[in-house]
A and B are shown apart, each in its own frame.
Chain A
Amino acid sequence: MLLGRELALSWGRGGGPLLALAFYAATATLLPLATGPEPARLAALAPGSAWLALALASLLSLERLFERDFEDGALDLLALGPAPLELAALAKCLAHWITAGAPLALAAPIVAIALGASPTLAPMIALTALIGGISFSFCGGVGAALSLGSRRGGVLIAVIVLPLFAPPVIFGAGAIDAYGAGLDWKTGLMLLSAFSLACLGLGPFAMAAACRNALS
C-alpha cells in the first residue's frame, strides 16, 4: 500500500522518468564530444560510460526521496505509523528503482550502442544496469537520508555516495567487458547481485536511523 503511493508520487512528479532519461541522453551525448568521435576508442569506452552515466542519472532524483517528506511533515507520519520506518525506506527506494532505475536500465543498451558498443552486449548491459540500479537506489537512499536537514542537498549526496558506488560500477562494468571478451562473466554478475542484495537488505536500517536522527 505504501509502495503504491510512493510509486504514484515518484512517477507523477516532474514527468516520471523522463527527466532522468533526458539527463542520461545528454551526458551520453557529451561523451563523444569530449573524447573525440573515433569509433574504436568510443566503442572501447562505451559500456563503461553508459554504466557511469546511469549512476549519475540515478543520483538526480535521490534528493527528493526523503527531503520533500521531511519538509511537509509526511515523514513524521511515516515514522509514527504501524509499519517500521525501515519498511517505509525500503518502499521508497523500491519505488525509486522502479520509476527511475528500471527505465534507465532499459535505455542503457541503446545509449551504449549509440556510443559504439557492439549490439551483442545489449542484453548484458540491460541486465547489469537493472541489478546495479538497485544498489544505486539504495546506496543513494542512504546518502539522501543522511543529508536531511543539511544545507547542501544534491551535491552533498553525490559526494557521500559516489565512493560507495565504486563496487557496483566495477562489478557491473567488469561483467560487461568479460561478456564481450567471451570470458567468465558470471562472477562479475554474481558479485554485483550480492552487493545489490546487501544494499537492499542493510540500506533501510541506515536510512531509518538517519531519518530518525533528522526528525529528532
Chain B
Amino acid sequence: MIAALANPRAFIRFSQWAAPLLGAVAAVLGAIGLWLDFTAPPDYQQGYTIHVMFIHVPAAWMSTFVYACLGGASFIGLVFRHALADAAARAAAPLGAAFTLLALVTGSLWGRPMWGTWWVWDARLTSVLVLFLLYLGYMALDAAIDDEAKAARACSILALVGLINLPIVHYSVVWWNTLHQGPSVFRAGGPAMPPIYLAPLLTMVLAYTAAFGALWLVRIRSEVWRRRAGALALRAAD
C-alpha cells in the first residue's frame, strides 16, 4: 500500500477520503475518551488532577511516535530519494513539536498540585524537553536552507542523527536522575494502572493518533499542491 501511495496523484486521491475519515474518527474517539475521562472516579492520591493525565500521557506518547514517523519518512526519503517521503517528514515536524509542547505544558499543569512547583527536572520531563529542542532544531534547519531538495536531505540526516540519539538522551537523563535522587520519582501510572483508567487513556491515545493521521495527510497534500503550483509558475515564467 505504501508503494501505491508513492505516486503523488494516487496519494492525493487517498488523502482526500482518508483525511476526513480519520478526522471524524479522531473527533468521535476524542469525545468518547473525554466522557470516559470525566466519569472516571478521582484517584485517591491525585484527586481531580488525574484528568490532566488523559491529555498529557497521550500527548507525550505522540511526541515520540511522531518523531519515529519523521525518522522513518526521512530514512525513506534519504535512501530512495523520494520527494513525497521528504515532504511527509517535513510536514510531520510541526505536528510533533505541537504534541511535545502540549505534553510539556500539561505535564507542568499536572505536576503543580503534586509537587508544588511548575517544573521538576525528572527523567521523563527532561527527556521530553530535549525532544522538543530536537524538533526545534529540525524546523530551524528546514527554514534556514533555501533550496528545497537540499533542505529536505539535510533535515533527513538530522532526523536520523536525532533518532539514534533519542534513546541515548533518554537513558542519560534517567541515569542522571538516579544520581541526583530528584524530588519526584515520577511514575505516571505504570502497569499498575487500574482498568477504569486504562479505557479512557487508550481511547485518547487512539484519538490523538487518528488526529495526527488526519492532520499529517492534509499537510502532505498541501505540500504536494504547493510544489505543483510552484513548478507550474516557474514553467509559465520561462
Contacts and interface: CB of A to CB of B under 8 A. Distances in A.
Interface in B89-139: 130, 133-134, 136-137
A120 interface: no
A142 B161 contact: yes
Contacts of B173: 166, 170
B33 interface: no
Contacts of B133: 159, 162-163
A160 B145 CA distance: 13
Interface in A163-209: 163-164, 166-167, 170-171, 174, 177-178, 191, 195, 202, 206, 209
B150 A174 contact: no
A174 B140 contact: no
A171 B174 CA distance: 11
A62 to B, nearest CB: 14
A210 B147 CA distance: 14
Contact of A166 (B130, B144, B160): B130
B25 interface: no
Contacts of A195: 168
A163 B150 contact: no
A161 B165 CA distance: 11
Interface stretch (A17-25, A99-107, A143-151): A143-151
Nearest to A212: B153
A209 B147 CA distance: 16
Contact of A214 (B150, B164, B165, B171): B150
B153 to A, nearest CB: 4
A150 B144 contact: yes
Query: Which among A151, A164, A178, A206 has the greatest number of chain B C-beta atoms within 10 A?
Result: A164
A209 B150 CA distance: 11
A167 to B, nearest CB: 4
B233 interface: no
Q: Is the interface of A mostly helix, strand, loop or mixed?
A: helix
Contact of A147 (B144, B146, B161, B171): B144
B165 A206 contact: no
Contacts, number: 82
A35 interface: no
Given A163-B137, A167-B165, A191 B175 contact: yes
B39 interface: no
Contacts of A43: none
Nearest to A142: B161
A206 B156 CA distance: 10
A213 B154 contact: yes
A168 to B, nearest CB: 8
B161 A163 contact: no
Interface string A14-33: 00000000000000000000
Contacts of B168: 167, 195
Nearest to A183: B179
A152 interface: yes
B16 interface: no
Nearest to A192: B172
A52 interface: no
A177 B140 contact: no
Contacts of A214: 150, 154
Contacts of B164: 202
B83 interface: no
Contacts of B71: none
B158 A174 contact: no
18 contacts: A146-B158, A147-B145, A150-B145, A152-B140, A162-B137, A163-B130, A163-B133, A164-B165, A166-B172, A167-B165, A167-B171, A170-B175, A174-B176, A206-B161, A209-B153, A209-B157, A213-B150, A213-B154
Interface of B: 130, 133-134, 136-137, 140-141, 144-147, 150, 153-154, 157-158, 160-162, 164-165, 168-169, 171-173, 175-176, 179
Given A159-B136, A213-B150, 9 more contacts: A146-B141, A147-B154, A149-B150, A150-B144, A152-B144, A156-B141, A163-B134, A163-B165, A166-B173
